[in-house]
Chains A and B, each alone.
Chain A
Amino acid sequence: MSMRSTSLLALLCAASLLQGSARAQTAAQETGAPAATVGTAATAGPAQATSGATTAVGEAQSTSSTAAAGTAKPAAAQPVAMANARPLITPATSPAHWSKDGSLGWFVIASSIFLGAAVTGFGLAQTCPEGVNGCTRSTSLAIWGGIGGATLGTILGLVMVQQGQARQKGQNVSVLRLGPLGEFALLPSPVAPTSH
């Protein structure tokens, strides 16, 4: 392998490393948690000063009272962190903020109710012969199917809205979901009682 190709390979690996670090930073900032990456910690020597080495992963949700405390950055560490940080992207300007603050949930609710009401209304508008027949079977499915779709969409949308509101209040616990196998939480940074 020539030196040129090996150097190019090294540059590509370094670029990937920097890109991964930047994405971790951005994800952390969007969720409000202090950010550090294993890669930068492993190779950058002195770690960034934070109140705890956590990395924001996936969606954030929390009811823990320690979460809010855990997201606070120590004052003394901020200059170091800010020197190494990319420009902050606030939730309001993030291109995906509408999916973070729960706005998408309202859309899900509204569209589910609209579609469900339409299907149920269509079913109610039908007139079937007296007795039990194929018409009553399919018409009842339309009526109750619309109700079921509307309620399911409403529930899911409400959950999205409530999670967005929790996020807005700074209640964040970054989590990694593995479905039914459970959830692995990136615990909020511990803040020991100050004793100066």
Chain B
Amino acid sequence: MERAGEARPRRSSGRRAWWLGALLGVAWSWCPAEAHADSPFATPKIVLQPAKPISPSTVLTAAPKLTLTQHADDLPSLAPPPRDYDLALPNQSALHYVRAGANVLLLNYLVWQQNWISGREYIFTTRRDWDRNLKQGFEWDKDPIQTNFFGHPYHGGFYFSSARSAGLSFWEAIPYTLGGSLSWELFGETERPSVNDVFATTLGGILMGEALYRISSQVLDESLSGPPRLLRELTAAAIAPGRGLDRLLSGRAWRLDAPPQRRYFRVAGHFGLDHTGDFNFNDLSFTNDDQLTKNAVLAALDLQYGDGLPRTASSTLGPFEMFQLYIASNLTARNGFEGVQIFGDGLLYGWSSKITDDTDKETDNNVLGFFQTFDFQGVSAVNFGGMGFGPGDMMIFRRKNGSTFRVGFDLQWVPIFGVTSAFTANSGRDYNLGVGGAFGTSLVWDLGRPGRLALRSRHYLGSVVSGAEGVEYTSYARFSYEIDLVKGLLAAGVAPTALIRNNRYDGGNRFEGAVNSTQIYLIVHN
């Protein structure tokens, strides 16, 4: 029979063993996630990092501090310096070029598949269609002017931005845009390939693609994580879908890296009214009020990127380090694209030189270089679109109080433009396609508190290559005045626009007249 004293040591040793086992079990649960990664209770939100930098020769004598962190900025000493998201990736290999090509083909497939699901019969291509397209060659197509001078450039921007996102430079991405357009025209449609589509997709895609790519770079921040990162990635993907697709497939959409280098970027949202005034064209069919929306709700974005100063010691500016883009739509118009205005111009390459001896924030410089422009004017009475490139010059004067004065001009070769006309012969379209040139001027005078004046004009002159043979002259001028209501946030503006047509066709026909419109709007800007 046990005595009472002898039983107590047995119970104490058992209890100690139990507590020891429990303690070890708790310690096991604190093992890093990967040690028991198959456990459903793995806790991934643990970041191990020392509280401060440690010398390599130091031997740790205490357990490292555990902290929860979701941002590289939590450790300023470890945060990488900002990176230029618009530069091509260094140390490119052939794999980058192959991936860019695969991106373009995948975009074509996704667009094709979406059309197939929608039942669009013109994309049910077979070997017979491929043979016929290759043998018969290119033609001028009969798509609406909105498709050719807005839809195709925007689609070309997808190709361009997906190639850029694969790590290529601006110039390297151009062939991929052309290749994407050619592959679609030859193999994606049962209709004969269209030469104007190739021009519009490639040239328009370069401008739209690079501009939207750089805008998306200003939205992205790879040093973030969690919901803020997700929101920025989704916004950037909406701006440049080709880039968003590449980031999703490559994993860059959630990879932590350096924050972006910020550029001068002014974005202004317009919301107001667009009033189309009386117009007079010699062809009465274009004055039918049923085709015209006199007053419409206006929504627009006015973007100005780059301060015009060189970022390198060589005093040169690279592709699209300076550009402006204006996109407006009349929301209540009968036709979805009625009243749409898109114009943009970007620097392809420029050489900067100082105009005065002013320095720092008051530097005055002149940029001589090559520019690319894009226009699509969807004013209901007349529509036109054009894209070109050529030499130009811009002078920028800056003052200490932040006011600036920019004035520039350019002379361009326009390989493709389109203008609606009553005289289109047997083309099957309501617009003529032509080749020619353009002369443009721009002026932006930011006075600071008194307001902001801007004037933009462009004059197209060319000969018709598909439609009623003749000479087309179309020009427009847009003047705007904006003034801050709340400094740095809210402003109001007014912008009258005038469009003039003067066309002479073989056989004595002419089409001439003018139409004006006025926009009144509120502005939210940064």
Contact = CB atoms under 8 A, between A and B. Distances in A.
Interface in A18-73: 19-21, 23-24, 27, 36-39, 41-43, 46-58, 61, 63-66, 72-73
B57 A184 contact: no
A52 B78 CA distance: 12
Contacts of B72: 185, 187
Given A65-B80, A184-B47, A39 B256 contact: no
Contacts of A83: none
Nearest to B11: A3
Interface string B47-87: 11110111111111111101000101001011010000000
Contacts of B66: 38
Given A75-B56, A184-B44, A136 B106 contact: no
Interface stretch (B22-30, B170-178, B410-418): B22-30
Contacts of A180: 230, 233, 253-254
A159 B48 contact: no
B125 A27 contact: no
B30 A173 contact: no
Contacts of B407: none
Contacts of B188: 144
B17 interface: yes
Contact of B58 (A1, A37, A74): A74
A110 to B, nearest CB: 13
Contacts of B108: 147
B49 A61 contact: no
A1 B14 contact: yes
Contacts of B25: 13, 16
Interface in B407-431: none
A179 B233 CA distance: 12
Contacts of A156: 249
Nearest to B74: A187
Interface stretch (B109-117, B151-159, B355-363, B484-492): B109-117
A186 B47 contact: yes
A138 B195 CA distance: 28
Contacts of A43: 27
A38 B34 contact: no
A140 B126 contact: yes
Contacts of A20: 28, 31-32, 35-36
B265 to A, nearest CB: 24
A86 interface: no
Contacts of A163: 251
Interface string A134-158: 0011011101110110011011101
Contacts of A53: 48-50, 60, 63-64
B226 interface: yes
B255 interface: yes
Contacts of A175: 255-256
B78 A187 contact: yes
B78 A155 contact: no
B121 A132 contact: yes
B105 interface: yes
Given A13-B25, A175-B255, A184-B44, A158 B53 contact: no
Nearest to A77: B59
B227 interface: yes
Interface string B32-47: 1111100000001111
B28 A16 contact: yes
A158 B34 contact: no
A96 interface: no
Contact of B34 (A24, A41, A181): A24
B238 interface: no
B45 A184 contact: yes
B30 A185 contact: no
Contacts of B35: 19-21, 23-24, 37, 39
Nearest to B10: A3
A127 B130 CA distance: 12
A37 B31 contact: yes
Given A61-B255, A147-B105, A184-B225, A139 B14 contact: no
B13 interface: yes
A9 interface: yes
Given A23-B35, A51-B56, A42 B30 contact: yes
A47 B48 contact: no
A151 to B, nearest CB: 4
B53 A191 contact: yes
B121 A64 contact: no
A41 to B, nearest CB: 4
B72 to A, nearest CB: 7
Nearest to B256: A185
A72 B124 CA distance: 58
A6 B18 contact: yes
A12 B95 CA distance: 49
Contact of B99 (A51, A155, A195): A155
Contacts of B280: none
Contact of A191 (B24, B32, B56, B229): B56
A148 B254 contact: no
B126 A136 contact: yes
13 contacts: A1-B18, A6-B18, A14-B24, A20-B31, A27-B34, A39-B30, A39-B32, A42-B27, A53-B60, A73-B56, A144-B188, A159-B99, A180-B253
